[in-house]
C-alpha cells in the first residue's frame, strides 16, 4: 500500500506516488471526460492506496473569527454553523484554532478557511468517491508554507512566503506558524528575469494589501522568504532588494528539498514536488474535506486499527507464551537437576541400607510391623503379676484363704493406650477363732482389702463381705453358738497390668 | 463514522485475520501456560521425591541402631515362625512336650478357628489369632506360670493370655484322687501370627 498525493491546480490533476523519500508523478489528468475516465482507471488500479488531495487554486478564503469558549459537540456545532455562514455554498472548509483571548470570557480565536469555489474539485472528488478509495483529506498549498523553514532557522512571528508553481506565484502571510492569508498571482513571464521581477512586484503588492487590512504595521519591517531554484537565485537576489518595509530572504529549493528528506528535488523553479513531499511526510491536522468524503479513509483506519489490535493481542499472547515457555524450561532444567540429586540420594540410601540385615521389608513397614508386635507383646504378661501381688498380701493375713481367682484381661477396645487393664475376681474365706467378734472380723477384712489396694488395685470392690451389716440384709444372732453365719467373701480388683 | 453493509465486506479479511490472530494467540498463551503448569507440577513432584529420600536418608542415619534392632527382631520372628502361616502340628507337639516336661497332672485344650485380629494391618502384615481354651490340673499355681512362660518363649506364635480361672479342687474331685492335683486352671490364650496382608 502506497501513499499517493493528487496535486490539483487550475489546469489539471497530477498524481504523485510517494515512497521512501521519493515523489514520482505517475499520472496527469485533464478535467475532461477522457481525463476523468483515465483517472477512474488509475484509481481502480491503485484502489488499495491512501490518497490526499493537495489543491493550489485561486479561490480560497480566510477569515479570523471569535467564538465563545466551548468544548466537544457544542464547539463542533458552533464551528459548523459559523463556517456555513462565512463560506456559504462550499463543503470544503476548515477551522484552525489560534488560541484563546486572555480576558474573562476566554473567547477562542479561529482562522476559518475554505475553497470558496468547489466546482474544480467536484469531478475529481466524485471519481474518488465512486472508486471507494481512501481519501485522507483535501489540503491547501497554503497550509504547508510554514513547514519549509526548519526549526533552526527561527523565522519571525510574522513573515511572507512566495513560491512558484506552474504559471503562478503563491503568496502567503504566516503568523505564528499559521497561514492566515494566501493568494495566487499569475506568472505571465516565466523566464528567469520575469520570475525575479514578479517576485519583487508581488511582494510589494501583498505588503500593501496586508497594510490595508491592518494585518501589519506601517513601520514594521516584514521578512519575505522567496523560494527559488538555484538557477534563478542570482536574478531574484538582484531584483528583490531589502528596504525599510521588506526584508528579503532567499531559500534554495534544492537545499530545502534535501533537508526535508526529498530524494527527487525539483528540477526547475516549480515547487510542487516539494509541497507534495511535505504533505505526504506529515499531513497537517486540519483539512477541508467533510466526513462523507473521508468515509473510506475511516474504513482504512478501522482496518489498520483491527489489524493493529490483532497484532498487539497476538504479540502479547506470544510474549506471555514465551515467558511461560521459558519459565517452564527453567523448571524442567531444575527438575532434571533434582532428579539427578534424587538418584544420588537413592544410591546413598541403598548403600546405607545395604549394611542392614536383609529383611525384604522397607524401614517404614518394618517400623509399623514391629510397633504393632510390641504393642501385642505388652499384653503377654498374663495373670502372674496380679496373682503374685495377691500372694504378697496374703502373707500378712494368714487367716485369709483364697478359693478361686478369676483373672481377665480387658478386650482390645477396653484397653488403655499403654497398659492393658486387668480385672481380678477373688473368692475366699476367713478362718477365725470362735472368740473373734464381728468388729474384729470386719477390721481384719478391711485391712486385707487395703493391703490389696496398695499392692495392685486402682479400685477394690467388695462384692460379698464376710459379715454383712448392711441395712438391706437380715441380721441374725444371740443363739450363743457360731456368731458368724457367713465367712466367705468376694472381691473385684481392677488394675493396670505390666506395661 | 457510520458503518454500512458494504463496509463490512471491506473489513472481512481484517476481521478474519484478527480473529485468527486472537485464536492463535489464545492457543499459544494456553499452550505456554499448560507447559509451564505441567513443568511446575513435575518440578513439585520431583522436589517432593527428592525431599522424601533426603528425609529418609537423614532418618536412616539417625535411626540406624533402631532399624538394626528392629530388623533383628523381624528375623527372629521369621525364625520363630511368628511371621507366616500357623504351625498347628508343631503347637500340639510342643503342648504335649510341655505337659510332660512340667509334669502337669492333666491338660485339655482346644484351638478355635483362626480369625483376623482387631486393628489395622501394620507394615503390609495382617495379624491373626487362634484362641486356645486350655484346662490344666496343677499341683501348685506356679505350674501355670511356668506353663505360660514356656509358651511365651518357645511357641511359634505370640501367646497372649486373655483370662485365667484358678480354683482349688474340691476334696471329692476325681483329679485329686488320681493325681497330686490341688488346683485347676481354665485359661483362654490367643496364639497370634502375622502374614503379608495380600492373602492368607
Give A332's contacts in chain B (Cβ within 8 Å). Answer: 39, 42-43
Class of domain A380-496: alpha beta
Q: Do A317 and B168 touch (CB under 8 A)?
A: no
Helix (H, G, I), strand (E, B) or coil at A346: helix
Query: Is-contact A446 A460, C-beta < 8 A?
Result: no
d(CA A251, CA A237) in angstroms, rounded, equals 11
Shortest Cα distance, chain A CAs vs residue B146, angstroms: 10
Is the Cβ pair A309, B35 closer than 8 Å? no
| Cross-chain Cβ contact B159/A380 below 8 Å | yes
> What's the burial of A25, exposed, middle or buried (CB within 10 Å: 0-12/13-18/19+)?
middle
- What is the nearest CA distance from B169 to chain A, expressed in angstroms? 9
Right CATH number for A3-59+117-293 from 3.40.50.880, 3.40.50.1820, 3.30.420.40, 3.40.50.10860? Answer: 3.30.420.40
- Quote the CA–CA distance of A308 and A327 in Å, as a whole number: 28
Q: From A98, A119, A121, A122, select the one nearest A110 (Cα to Cα).
A: A98
ipTM of the complex: 0.72
- In which residue ranges of chain A is CATH 3.30.420.40 found? 3-59+117-293
End-to-end CA separation in angstroms for chain B: 86
* Maximum separation of any 2 CA atoms in chain B, in Å: 127
Q: Residues near B5 by Cβ (< 8 Å), separated by ≥ 6? A: none
Is A324–B32 a contact, with Cβ atoms under 8 angstroms apart?
yes
Residues B12-59: tens digit of each pLDDT: 889 999 999 999 999 999 999 999 999 999 999 999 999 998 888 888
**Under 8 Å between Cβ of A239 and A197:** yes
Give just the sign of the alpha carbon dihedral A306, A308, A314, A316: negative
For each of chain A's 499 residues, which pLDDT tens digit applies? Answer: 789 999 999 889 999 999 888 899 999 999 999 999 999 999 999 998 999 999 999 899 999 998 988 888 999 999 999 998 999 889 999 999 988 888 778 899 999 999 999 999 999 999 999 999 999 999 999 989 888 876 557 788 899 999 998 788 999 999 988 999 999 999 888 888 888 999 999 999 999 999 998 888 888 899 999 999 988 889 999 999 999 899 999 988 888 888 888 888 888 878 888 999 999 998 998 999 998 899 999 999 999 999 999 999 999 999 999 999 999 999 999 999 999 998 998 898 888 877 877 777 877 888 888 888 988 888 888 888 888 888 888 888 888 889 899 999 875 544 444 555 788 999 998 877 767 777 888 888 889 888 888 877 668 888 888 877 777 777 766 655 554 445 788 998 887 765 4
First vs last Cα of chain A: how many Å apart? 96
Q: How many CB atoms lie within 10 A of CB A311?
A: 15
Query: From CA B45, how far away is CA B37, in angstroms rounded?
Result: 12
Cα–Cα distance measured from residue A280 to residue A49, given in angstroms and rounded to the nearest whole number:
13
Q: Which residues pair with A54 in a beta bridge?
A: A7, A139
Residue from A108, A97, A104 nearest A67 by CA: A108
Q: Which residues of B touch A429 (CB under 8 A)?
A: none
**Where along chain A do the CATH 3.30.980 domains lie?**
380-496
The answer to whether the beta carbons of residues A61 and A69 sit under 8 Å apart is: no
DSSP SS3 for A172:
strand
The reply to whether A333 touches chain B by the CB within 8 Å rule is no
**In the CATH hierarchy, which top-level class contains the domain B88-196?**
alpha beta
Residue with grid cell 531584483, as numbered in its chain: A239
**Distance between CA atoms of A232 and A253, rounded to whole angstroms?**
10
- B162, B188 in Cβ contact below 8 A? yes
- B151: nearest Cα among B134, B166, B139: B134
Q: Which residue has the cell 523566464?
A: A191
Q: Kindly determine whether residue B70 and residue A346, on different chains, have CB atoms separated by under 8 Å.
A: no
Find out whether A64 and A101 touch, Cβ atoms under 8 Å.
no
Is A291 in contact with B72 (Cβ distance < 8 A)?
A: no
Assign A23 to helix, strand or coil.
Answer: strand
CB B187 within 8 A of CB B136: yes
Residue in chain A nearest B161 by alpha carbon = A382
Question: Chain A within 8 Å of B7 (Cβ-Cβ)?
Answer: yes
**DSSP 8-state class, residue A152:** G
List helix spans (H) across A271-383: 272-281, 295-354, 363-377
Q: Give the predicted TM-score (pTM) of the model.
A: 0.59
Q: What is the distance between the alpha carbons of residues A155 and A141, in angstroms, rounded to a whole number?
A: 19
* A325 lies within 8 A of chain B by CB: yes
- The rounded distance, in Å, linking the Cα atoms of A447 and A455 is 12
Cα distance between residue A163 and residue B196, in whole Å? 108
In this structure, the number of other CB atoms found within 10 A of the CB of residue A33 comes to 9
Nearest partner of A177 among A149, A202, A198, judged by Cα: A149
> Residue ranges per domain, chain B?
1-62, 88-196
Q: Do A361 and B166 touch (CB under 8 A)?
A: no
What's the rounded Cα separation, in Å, for the pair A27 and A221?
Answer: 43
- CB neighbours of residue A220 within 10 Å: 12
If we measure between CA atoms, which residue out of A368, A348, A366, A347 comes closest to residue A357?
A366
Closest CA relative to residue A198, chosen from A171, A172, A173: A171
Picking from A137, A181, A188, the residue whose alpha carbon sits closest to that of residue A162 is: A181
Amino acid at each position: 500500500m502506497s501513499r499517493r498525493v493528487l496535486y490539483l491546480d487550475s489546469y489539471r490533476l497530477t498524481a504523485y506516488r510517494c515512497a521512501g523519500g521519493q515523489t514520482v508523478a505517475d499520472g496527469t489528468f485533464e478535467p475532461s471526460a477522457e481525463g476523468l475516465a483515465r483517472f477512474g482507471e488509475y484509481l481502480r488500479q491503485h484502489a488499495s492506496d491512501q490518497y490526499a488531495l493537495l489543491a493550489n487554486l485561486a479561490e480560497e478564503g480566510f477569515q479570523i473569527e471569535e467564538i465563545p469558549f466551548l468544548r466537544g459537540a457544542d464547539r463542533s456545532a458552533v464551528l459548523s454553523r459559523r463556517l456555513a455562514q462565512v463560506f456559504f455554498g462550499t463543503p470544503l472548509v476548515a477551522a484552525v484554532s489560534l488560541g484563546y483571548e486572555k480576558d474573562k470570557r476566554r473567547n477562542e480565536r479561529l482562522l476559518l478557511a475554505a475553497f470558496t469555489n468547489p466546482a474544480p474539485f467536484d469531478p475529481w472528488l466524485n471519481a474518488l468517491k465512486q472508486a471507494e478509495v481512501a481519501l485522507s483529506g483535501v489540503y491547501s498549498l497554503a497550509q504547508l508554507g510554514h513547514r519549509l523553514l526548519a526549526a533552526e532557522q527561527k523565522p519571525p512571528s510574522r513573515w511572507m512566503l512566495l513560491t512558484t508553481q506552474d504559471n503562478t506565484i503563491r503568496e502567503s502571510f504566516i503568523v505564528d506558524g499559521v497561514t492566515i492569508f494566501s493568494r495566487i498571482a499569475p506568472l505571465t513571464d516565466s523566464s528567469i528575469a520575469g520570475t525575479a521581477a514578479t517576485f519583487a512586484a508581488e511582494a510589494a503588492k501583498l505588503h500593501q494589501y496586508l497594510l490595508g487590512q491592518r494585518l501589519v504595521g506601517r513601520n514594521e519591517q516584514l521578512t519575505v522568504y522567496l523560494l527559488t531554484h538555484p538557477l534563478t537565485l542570482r536574478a531574484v537576489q538582484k531584483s528583490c532588494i531589502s528596504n525599510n518595509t521588506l526584508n528579503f530572504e532567499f531559500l534554495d529549493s534544492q537545499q530545502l528539498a534535501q533537508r526535508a528528506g526529498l530524494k527527487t528535488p525539483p528540477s526547475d523553479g516549480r515547487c510542487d514536488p516539494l509541497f507534495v513531499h511535505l504533505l505526504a511526510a506529515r499531513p497537517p491536522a486540519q483539512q477541508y474535506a467533510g466526513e462523507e468524503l473521508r468515509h473510506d479513509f475511516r474504513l482504512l483506519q478501522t482496518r489498520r486499527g483491527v489489524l493493529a489490535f490483532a497484532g498487539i493481542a497476538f504479540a502479547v499472547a506470544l510474549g506471555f507464551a514465551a515467558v511461560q515457555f521459558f519459565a517452564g524450561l527453567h523448571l524442567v532444567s531444575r527438575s532434571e537437576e533434582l532428579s539427578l540429586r534424587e538418584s544420588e540420594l537413592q544410591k546413598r540410601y541403598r548403600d546405607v541400607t545395604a549394611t542392614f540385615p536383609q529383611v525384604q521389608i522397607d524401614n517404614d513397614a518394618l517400623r509399623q510391623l514391629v510397633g504393632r508386635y510390641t504393642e501385642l507383646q505388652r499384653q503377654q504378661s498374663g495373670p502372674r503379676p496380679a496373682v503374685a501381688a495377691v500372694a504378697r498380701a496374703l502373707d500378712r493375713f494368714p487367716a485369709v484363704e483364697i478359693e478361686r481367682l478369676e483373672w481377665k484381661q480387658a478386650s482390645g477396645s477396653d484397653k488403655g493406650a499403654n497398659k492393658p487393664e486387668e480385672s481380678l475376681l477373688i473368692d475366699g474365706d476367713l478362718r477365725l477363732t470362735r472368740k473373734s467378734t464381728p468388729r474384729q472380723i470386719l477390721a481384719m477384712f478391711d485391712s486385707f482389702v487395703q493391703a490389696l489396694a496398695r499392692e495392685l488395685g486402682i479400685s477394690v470392690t467388695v462384692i460379698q463381705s464376710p459379715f454383712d451389716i448392711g441395712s438391706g440384709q437380715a441380721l441374725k444372732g444371740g443363739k450363743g453358738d457360731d456368731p458368724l453365719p457367713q465367712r466367705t467373701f468376694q472381691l473385684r480388683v481392677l488394675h493396670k497390668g505390666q506395661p | 463514522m457510520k458503518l454500512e453493509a458494504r463496509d463490512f465486506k471491506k473489513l472481512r479479511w481484517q476481521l478474519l485475520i484478527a480473529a485468527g490472530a486472537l485464536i492463535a494467540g489464545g492457543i499459544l498463551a494456553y499452550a505456554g501456560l499448560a507447559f509451564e503448569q505441567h513443568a511446575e507440577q513435575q518440578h513439585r513432584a520431583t522436589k517432593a521425591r527428592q525431599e522424601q529420600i533426603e528425609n529418609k536418608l537423614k532418618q536412616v542415619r539417625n535411626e540406624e541402631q533402631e532399624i538394626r534392632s528392629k530388623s533383628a527382631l523381624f528375623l527372629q520372628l521369621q525364625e520363630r515362625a511368628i511371621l507366616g502361616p500357623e504351625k498347628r502340628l508343631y503347637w500340639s507337639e510342643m503342648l504335649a512336650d510341655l505337659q510332660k516336661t512340667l509334669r502337669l497332672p492333666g491338660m485339655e485344650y482346644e484351638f478355635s478357628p483362626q480369625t483376623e485380629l482387631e486393628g489395622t494391618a501394620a507394615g503390609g502384615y495382617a495379624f491373626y489369632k487362634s484362641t486356645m481354651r486350655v484346662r490344666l490340673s496343677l499341683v501348685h499355681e506356679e505350674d501355670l506360670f511356668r506353663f505360660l512362660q514356656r509358651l511365651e518363649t518357645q511357641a511359634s506364635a505370640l501367646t497372649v493370655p486373655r483370662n485365667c480361672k484358678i480354683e482349688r479342687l474340691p476334696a471329692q474331685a476325681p483329679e485329686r484322687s488320681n493325681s497330686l492335683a490341688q488346683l485347676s486352671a481354665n485359661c483362654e490364650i490367643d496364639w497370634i501370627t502375622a502374614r503379608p496382608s495380600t492373602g492368607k
